[in-house]
Structure 1
Amino acid sequence: MVVIQNLYLIALITICQNHFNNAQLLPPIEPPPENANLDFNGLANRHGQQAVQHEVTTDDGYILTIFHIPGRSKYPVLLVHGLADAADVWLLRGKGSVGVTLANEGYDVWFANSRGNRYSRRHVSLDPDNDAAYWNFSFHEMGYYDLPAIIDKIINETQKPSVTAIGHSRGNLLFYVLGATRPEYNSKVNVMISLAPICHLTNTKPPVITILQAVPFIDQLFNSLNMKITEFLGYNSTSTKLVRAYCTYPIIGNELCLNTIYFPLFGFDEKELEASFVNVFIYHFPAGTSWMEILHLSQLTRKDFAQFDYGTAQNLLVYNSPVPPAYNLTLATMPFALLVGRNDRLATLPDVATLRSQLPNVVDYTVNRRALFNHADAGVLGRHMPDYLFPDISRVMRRYNERPLINKN
């Protein structure tokens, strides 16, 4: 039943995205709490920090917004969000979040925003609202273009030799692409702490794998109807407003949202993601990405970790090969720490084990001691992250920085 509900939801929001632009068609929603109305700068101010905003232009013309909370650490710390997310997620739990904790302890913290999300929805010549070509990107371009531009900006601004990176979910995958395709950047990453690392998706649990495997068929259906999908779950799109309306419907919306969307996708953990918190995070996530990225992720359920598969004819034009080239992860030599959970439906232990066997420099591998630790608990939405996650991050940080992170003792 949950599988059918999720497939229905993805089809419904896609149809709405392509056909409806009138928010009055949506059901009523409860008034958002104060945190929901704050952007990144507002969230930082609310928690006692002053953020600085920077713009970065990639080699292929995408204009990214990154945020900086200045500090004194030897190595700047770069936080990279997950799929269809934004930098806000690192601050939503306030003093119990990774971003605020790092900033409060004086770390020099930088926050990435991938192309296509609410803060990085610009280009030197393409209009995301009118030019479908703007959305011709997946996580490959984010790893190959976005990360180098962001890292170079940070190194140039701070005059430090490298960055310490912390990623969540798809944010980690970008570093695997970076290390494999632009190996000169391996030396610019002091250590890469992967929270709930996504790479291989062959052992992803239902309903996630069912939905991902259905994505190509949904794409074919819409293409056959001359309804090409470009943006997916844009921050201000009707599709996202529909999700918000569903998740904040008076009295029952929060529980429905958790039990039919988030818990089936990420893993059930009611103590860490309480119903009332839905009213906060649903106004920050989703924040937008491309449909092409969803297609690319769906390919990881049936193929090796490889570049986007356009089909034989187009692959010959793009890659001079009938199949897309696989990423050579042996070239990704930066130090990686893999922090995983047994209750994670996306970054499953078997898939992370495959990734671990392919990366040549895994310096830490930890299965979280909390049995219910899931994909959302891993650094972004968990209610008690300082208790069960921060000590693991601290252990890695102590090895690669001049002082510990989040030293609770």
Structure 2
Amino acid sequence: MQRISASGGAHRAPVLVQHGITMDGMSWMLNSPEESLPFILVGKGFDVWFGNTRGTKWSRRHATLNSSSKEYWNWSWDELVEYDFSATVGFVYGKTGQKLHYIGHSLGTLVALASLSEGKMVEKLRCAALLSPIAYLNHMTGLIGVLGAFSFMGEAIALLGPEEFNVKLPKIMKWLTMTPFCHNRNTNCLEDLINIITGENCCLDGMTMEHFLRYEPQPTSMRNMEHLAQISRNGVLAKYNYGNPMQNMQQYGMVTPPLYNLENISRNISLFFSYGGKDCLSDTIDVTHLLEKLKNHDSDKLTVHFVKEFGHADFVMGTSVKENVYNALVTFLNHQ
């Protein structure tokens, strides 16, 4: 984890920001300082902490395993829900002695929603702000959605092995260049990567893209990608499906994976949702389905914010994200 705080940080309200898929904590600072969420929050008097999902540059170590081993990558976002969310929230709470604000983007929203549905860390949070929320992915049209819809992820995993998904690795780059998803093969697909995964974004400038290509994308596990594809293909928010009733029975005590029931999220926790009309990962139809699951949430604890022209990456790196999203987000945080 990393931390940015001004003087008097011990007395400032802590905020934990958690990145999305194939990104890391650095992704929040690829934009100009005036548009980067951490610097905005510090300027508004918050104590800012960054999570870095396992397998990314800043989170590659393990008590017993090496990142070159298959066993190291034997996880999906189920493990992020079961272990990592509680560990990071608990760490910030223990260091500051205060309840914290949580801000997640993309995968960071999925992990939070699933964790909250199982009652994890509710007592240590003031609120959760979810940018480009993903939970139900039936209408996702990016790379993960296409793979899920055509059941192609299973073939890719059989080809590449159940290990690291890192687009900068030669074997995965070779696979990408052989698919319809890569349009600019002369640059090894990296310049197309954001559009490959997220769809078109309205407000990314050249300097931000240069920073992105320098620091991102980050690795995740092949199983994590497969699990996301399962959600897209099956239309339910469920734990990882091992594809074998016996294995599922051994893991879960049932032949099909159990569901995460978002209706179990405490009605007392304040939630902020911000989503875009051009987002092909957090599709508006799927967000509507997600919000329907929260229809019994206390109305004064639920804030919904919509930006018609925004795509998925705009919520982190868009040149107008402060005006369109972060000002409303800071107002929400200040009322918690």
Q: TM-score, structure 2 length as denominator?
A: 0.86
Q: Provide the alpha-carbon RMSD of the alignment.
A: 2.7
Tell me which residue corresponds to 2:285: 350
SS at match of 1:153: helix
Note if contact 2:41-2:330 (Cα within 8 Å) is conserved in structure 1.
no
Tell me which residue corresponds to 2:104: 167
Question: Structure 1 385/184 Cα, relative in aligned 2: closer, same or farther at 3 Å?
Answer: closer
CA distance in 2, matches of 1:200, 1:97: 28
CA distance in 2, matches of 1:99, 1:229: 34
Between Structure 1 and Structure 2, how many residues are aligned? 318
SS at match of 1:167: strand
Q: Aligned match of 2:275 in 325, 340, 362?
A: 340
Q: 1:91: Cα distance to partner?
A: 1.1
- Which letter does structure 2 place at the counterpart of 1:286? P
> Are 1:309 and 2:244 counterparts?
no
Q: Aligned match of 1:126 in 54, 65, 79?
A: 65
Q: 1:220: Cα distance to partner?
A: 3.6
Q: 1:239: Cα distance to partner?
A: 5.6
CA distance in 2, matches of 1:221, 1:288: 16
Q: Aligned match of 2:152 in 217, 230, 241?
A: 217
- Which letter does structure 1 place at the counterpart of 2:311? N
Note if contact 1:137-1:293 (Cα within 8 Å) is conserved in structure 2.
yes
- Which letter does structure 2 place at the counterpart of 1:358? K
- Taking only the aligned residue pairs, the percentage that are identical comes to 26
Note if contact 2:144-2:229 (Cα within 8 Å) is conserved in structure 1.
no
CA distance in 2, matches of 1:111, 1:206: 26
Tell me which residue corresponds to 2:46: 107
- Which letter does structure 1 place at the counterpart of 2:231? L
Tell me which residue corresponds to 2:88: 150
Q: 1:262: Cα distance to partner?
A: 2.4
Tell me which residue corresponds to 1:279: 210
CA distance in 1, matches of 2:65, 2:306: 43
Tell me which residue corresponds to 1:25: none
- Which letter does structure 2 place at the counterpart of 1:173? L
Q: 1:394: Cα distance to partner?
A: 2.2
Tell me which residue corresponds to 1:376: 313
Question: Structure 1 207/220 Cα, relative in aligned 2: closer, same or farther at 3 Å?
Answer: closer
Q: Aligned match of 2:260 in 322, 327, 330?
A: 327
Deviations 1:340-398 (A, max 9, x none): 11111110111111111223356101112xx32110111x1111212212222123112
Note if contact 2:157-2:222 (Cα within 8 Å) is conserved in structure 1.
no
Q: Aligned match of 2:306 in 362, 367, 379?
A: 367
Q: Aligned match of 1:291 in 222, 225, 241?
A: 222
Note if contact 1:233-1:239 (Cα within 8 Å) is conserved in structure 2.
no
Tell me which residue corresponds to 1:394: 330
CA distance in 2, matches of 1:261, 1:117: 17
Q: 1:102: Cα distance to partner?
A: 1.4
Describe how 1:239-254 pairs up with structure 2 within 5 A. 253=187
Question: Structure 1 199/113 Cα, relative in aligned 2: closer, same or farther at 3 Å?
Answer: same
CA distance in 2, matches of 1:269, 1:303: 25
CA distance in 2, matches of 1:114, 1:330: 26
CA distance in 1, matches of 2:153, 2:238: 22
CA distance in 2, matches of 1:346, 1:221: 20
Tell me which residue corresponds to 1:90: 28
- Which letter does structure 1 place at the counterpart of 2:27? V
Note if contact 1:193-1:338 (Cα within 8 Å) is conserved in structure 2.
yes
Note if contact 1:208-1:345 (Cα within 8 Å) is conserved in structure 2.
no
Structure of higher CA gyration radius = 1
Unmatched segments (≥5 aa) in structure 1: 1-65, 401-409
Question: Structure 1 372/257 Cα, relative in aligned 2: closer, same or farther at 3 Å?
Answer: farther
Q: TM-score, structure 1 length as denominator?
A: 0.71
Unmatched segments (≥5 aa) in structure 2: 177-181
- Which letter does structure 2 place at the counterpart of 1:325? P
Tell me which residue corresponds to 2:3: 68
Deviations 1:92-145 (A, max 9, x none): 11311001221233310000011111111111011121x311111111111220
Question: Structure 1 268/106 Cα, relative in aligned 2: closer, same or farther at 3 Å?
Answer: same
Question: Structure 1 222/157 Cα, relative in aligned 2: closer, same or farther at 3 Å?
Answer: closer
Note if contact 2:278-2:311 (Cα within 8 Å) is conserved in structure 1.
yes
Deviations 1:235-284 (A, max 9, x none): x74468889xxx9x9xx859x755x44235424245x1124432211122
Deviations 1:133-180 (A, max 9, x none): 1111111111220111111111111111x1101111110111112112
- Which letter does structure 2 place at the counterpart of 1:70? S
> Are 1:228 and 2:164 counterparts?
no
Note if contact 1:70-1:108 (Cα within 8 Å) is conserved in structure 2.
yes
Q: 1:207: Cα distance to partner?
A: 5.8
